[in-house]
Amino acid sequence: MLRLEQVSMSVNQNNGDNKEILHNIDLEFDAGKLYAITGPNGGGKTSLAKVIMGIYGLSSGRIYLNDEDITDLTVTERARKGIAYAFQQPPRFKGLTVSDLLKIADSELDIIGLRKSLRDVGLCPEDYLDRDVGPGLSGGEMKRIEISQVLARRATVSIFDEPEAGVDLWTIQRLIGIIVNRYKDNPKNTAIIITHNENVLPICDEIIVLEEGRIRSRGTYEEIWPLIRDEIECKRRLECRGEMGYEIQ
């Protein structure tokens, strides 16, 4: 469905040098499967998502969607081809309402669809549909509204960038349930979840650990969890002592 071949991405640093963020990534995402991408902070997870969405350009490599080369397509063109991305930190808009954004996400949404989109992410439609996606919303509310837009798009490939961040525990479970129902074993779609949440990992068919812009390991939960569990425990202990820790969770 979605294939990355030898994808590399670099950025210009302040001193003029190029820093490579992603190094020769080969990945394939199949329909009907859920994927988790995890790894330490700064490992390249969000960069990879933005490369797939077309927000960041490649320094080398190709990206294919259903065997069509989409490497040179713009963000808009990729969105129209069926790629959707829920931002880690969605931007706020003065004057645009939740309803406006949902209708942009899916112009065919009627009032019933709009209401359902919000209920799916645990928000009361009456309270949110007409609200500005502006400073009056909390981070958790913004996150849920962001996810509702990606769900509304019914995209072929949906990428959720830390959907759990800032969201309460009750809603995380609900979101996990919706993503599983929507994407798991669905022969037309796939979802990629960038996550630091160990409760999300078991629901995924494959886990990819990204570190320093390279794939450190990939496999099923049963295969990967033993490899990263100790690091997570180590991080917890460091956090308990108030020290900065290694950031795999």
Binding residues for other proteins, rule: CB under 8 A, are: 53, 55, 74-76, 79-80, 84-85, 87, 90-91, 93-97, 100-101, 104-105, 149, 153
Report helix, strand or coil for 185: coil
Q: Work out how close the CB of 41 gets to other proteins at its nearest, in angstroms, rounded to a whole number.
A: 20
Q: Work out how close the CB of 102 gets to other proteins at its nearest, in angstroms, rounded to a whole number.
A: 9
Q: Work out how close the CB of 84 gets to other proteins at its nearest, in angstroms, rounded to a whole number.
A: 7
CA count, 13 A, side-chain hemisphere, 158:
29
Output 74 or 199, the one with its CB closest to other proteins.
Answer: 74
Q: Work out how close the CB of 136 gets to other proteins at its nearest, in angstroms, rounded to a whole number.
A: 14
Output 56 or 201, the one with its CB closest to other proteins.
Answer: 56
Q: Work out how close the CB of 12 gets to other proteins at its nearest, in angstroms, rounded to a whole number.
A: 16
Output 129 or 209, the one with its CB closest to other proteins.
Answer: 129
Output 92 or 188, the one with its CB closest to other proteins.
Answer: 92
DSSP codes, 106-156: -TT--HHHHHHHHHHTT--HHHHTTSBSSTTS-HHHHHHHHHHHHHHHT-S
C-alpha to C-alpha distance for 24 and 2, rounded to whole angstroms: 16
Report helix, strand or coil for 60: strand
Q: Which two tokens stand for residue 231?
A: 């690091």
Output 94 or 241, the one with its CB closest to other proteins.
Answer: 94
C-alpha to C-alpha distance for 177 and 106, rounded to whole angstroms: 22
